[in-house]
Amino acid sequence: MKHIVVLMDGAADEPILKLGNMTPLEYAHTPNIDMLAPYSQIGRVKTIPEGCAKGSDTANLSVLGYNPKEFYFGRSPLEALSMGVSLKETDVTFRTNVVTLSEEEAYENKIILDHSADEISTEEARELIEAVQKELGDKVRTFYPGVSYRHLLVWDKGSTEVNLIPPHDILDQRIAAYKPQGAGSDLIWEMMKKSYNVLNNHPINEARRKKGLKPANSIWIWGEGTKPMLPLFEEKYDVKGAVISAVDLIKGIGIGAGMTSIDVEGATGNVHTNYKGKADAAIKWLIDEDKDFVYVHLEGPDECGHRNELDNKIKAIEYIDQKIIKPIIDALENRSIPYKMLVVPDHPTPLRLRTHTGDPVPFMIYESGSKLVNKDNRYTENFAGSTDYYIEEGHTLMDVFLSK
Ligand SMILES: [Zn+2]
């Protein structure tokens, strides 16, 4: 039996007046989901336990069968794993942005102008982080370049008893009010301060200024975490699994769980991702490589929710139906290979709120060759809510899905 999870990040939403009080999931033209629904189990699942951060990391951990209350290590160690950095148990990891600070004032009084330095290119940022590593790195503290403005500091026996502020939360404010607090915070502040001297007049930044781009003239350290110690997915469920995602956090969870993370060229994490590449990679993993489980993660609906882009959110859901679900089921049906498919968002990202909520999400489990369950079944928030099938502990959904 092949198992496919189609994870529609942030797809669940609220009824929208403009759509005749339908949700984007309800309104979207999804002939393939509609075809499977009458033969499927449909219900709701609460993926984010009360009191947990409403993030894609906690929610995807939950869908993959790990209780986020028990297995949550912060975002930076998951990003570290997706970057291929292996961690020791004593390592503490920190997200390290390259940011743009105002230039006139003393460091304390500077204003944070951009948490991404105009979404600096990976190549430029790499040189800058290498310069930071040369000046500030040592055997205990190592800076690793990542993608665009997102980098990593690994600090052996670093402190997790810190209070560090995400830079995107304090845009256009003076940084003095957001100095790191707690054990080890003086050293973190010191590194941030020194990085300005390394970066502000770096040739990369001089060249950026000439092009009218913001300089990446300081690092900003936040998002502390420790090595994720997840029980292996394969040992837990006795299947060989892969994750296919454009998002570092999701790749990191997969790698942390001992799964294969398949990189797909042109996978962007937005509505115009390389759907075909992702579907092909899933089919290859299941059929050519004869493995059992694949987790195809699509970030598009979430991104559109954050941006309040109604039409694109609908489109993202339609693309998943047509360009992910259809080719995968066709490939398996054509070869008469038995399979189960779970379609589920990790959490709602309502357009109205432009952020995640912890409300239950609708799920659908289809098994090939199933008899009709209910001809009126529909895969929508509303229909799922009308059934009495409700899974309160989100991490047990995977047990249900992978049960024989
Ligand atoms: Zn998410």
CA 347 / ligand 1 centre spacing (Å): 6
Give the mean model confidence (pLDDT) for residues 241-249.
93
User: Both 86 and 10 in a single domain?
Assistant: no
Q: What is the pLDDT of residues 316-345, one digit of tens each?
A: 999 999 999 999 999 999 999 999 999 999
C-beta separation of 365 from 342 below 8 A: yes
Give the distance (Å) from ligand 1 centre to CA of residue 11.
9
Q: At 188, which helix (H) or strand (E)?
A: helix 185-199
Question: Is residue 89 domain-shared with residue 65, that is, in the same domain?
Answer: no
Q: How far is the CA of 197 from the centre of ligand 1 (A)?
A: 37
The whole-angstrom separation of Cα 350 and Cα 127 is 38
Closest residue by Cα to residue 61 from 44, 78, 86, 76 = 78
User: Which residues sit opposite 340 in a β-bridge?
Assistant: 3, 367
Asked whether 207 and 141 are in contact (CB, 8 A), the reply is no
Q: How far is the CA of 370 from the centre of ligand 1 (A)?
A: 30
How much is the mean pLDDT over the chain?
Answer: 95
* Domain assignment of residue 216, given as a range: 81-226
Do residues 94 and 168 share a domain?
Answer: yes
Distance 75 CA to ligand 1 centre (A): 13
Q: Are strands 390-391 and 40-45 parallel, antiparallel or unpaired?
A: parallel
Distances (CA, A) of 199 to 154, 230, 269: 20, 37, 29
Per-residue pLDDT, averaged over 269-294, amounts to: 94
Q: Please identify, among 208, 226, 244, the residue that sits at the C-terminal boundary of a domain.
A: 226
Q: Quote the ligand 1 centre to 185 CA distance (angstroms).
A: 30
Provide mean pLDDT across the span 353-357: 92
248 with 276, same domain? Answer: yes
| 61 & 126 share domain | no
Distance CA 215, CA 343 (A): 43
Summarize pLDDT for 31-60 with one digit per residue, the tens.
Answer: 999 999 999 999 999 999 999 989 899 999
Average pLDDT over residues 84-109: 95
Residue 326 has which token pair? 């259809």
* d(C-alpha 200, C-alpha 260), whole Å: 39
Structure tokens, 123:
């190549």
What is the sign of the dihedral through the CA atoms of 49, 97, 94 and 182?
negative
Whether residue 264 is found in the same domain as residue 380: yes
Distance 56 CA to ligand 1 centre (A): 3
Name the amino acid, one letter, at 380. T
Measured in angstroms, how far is the CA atom of residue 7 from the centroid of ligand 1? 9
Ligand 1 mean position, distance from CA 302 (Å)? 6
Taking the centre of ligand 1 as the mean of its atom positions, its distance from the CA of residue 350, in whole angstroms, is 11
Out of 226, 252, 287, pick the residue that ends a domain.
226
Residues 102 and 180 in one domain: yes
Average pLDDT over residues 240-261: 94
Do 44 and 63 share a structural domain? yes
Q: How far is the CA of 247 from the centre of ligand 1 (A)?
A: 10
Residue 143 has pLDDT above 90, yes or no: yes
Q: To which residue do tokens 């629904």 refer?
A: 37
SS3 call for 369: coil
| 254 and 377 both lie in a single domain | yes
> In the listed set 179, 200, 226, which residue is the last one of a domain according to the structure?
226
Cα(250)–Cα(296) distance, rounded to whole angstroms? 10
> In this structure, are residues 10 and 349 in contact, taking their beta carbons and an 8 Å threshold?
yes
Q: What are phi and psi of 29, to 5 degrees?
A: -85, 105
Is the Cβ–Cβ distance between 183 and 161 less than 8 Å?
A: yes
Q: What are phi and psi of 308, to 5 degrees?
A: 55, 50
What is the Å distance from ligand 1's center to 264 Cα? 19
Tell whether the model's pLDDT for residue 268 goes beyond 80: no
- C-alpha of residue 132 to centroid of ligand 1, in Å: 32
Ligand 1 centroid from CA 271, angstroms = 14
Structural domain count of the chain: 2
Report CA(349)–ligand 1 centroid distance (Å). Answer: 8
Considering just the CA atoms, what is the radius of gyration of the chain in Å?
22
CATH for 267: 3.40.720.10
Measured at the CA of 159, the angle between CA 156 and CA 162, to 5 degrees, comes to 150
Question: How far apart, in whole angstroms, are the C-alpha atoms of residue 187 and residue 190?
Answer: 5
Which tokens go with 92?
Answer: 């503490």
How far, in Å, from the CA of 225 to the mean position of ligand 1? Answer: 19
Dihedral pair phi/psi, residue 355, rounded to 5°? -150, 170
What distance in angstroms lies between residue 69's CA and the mean position of ligand 1's atoms? 17
Please give the distance, rounded to the nearest whole angstrom, from the Cα atom of residue 14 to the centre of ligand 1: 16
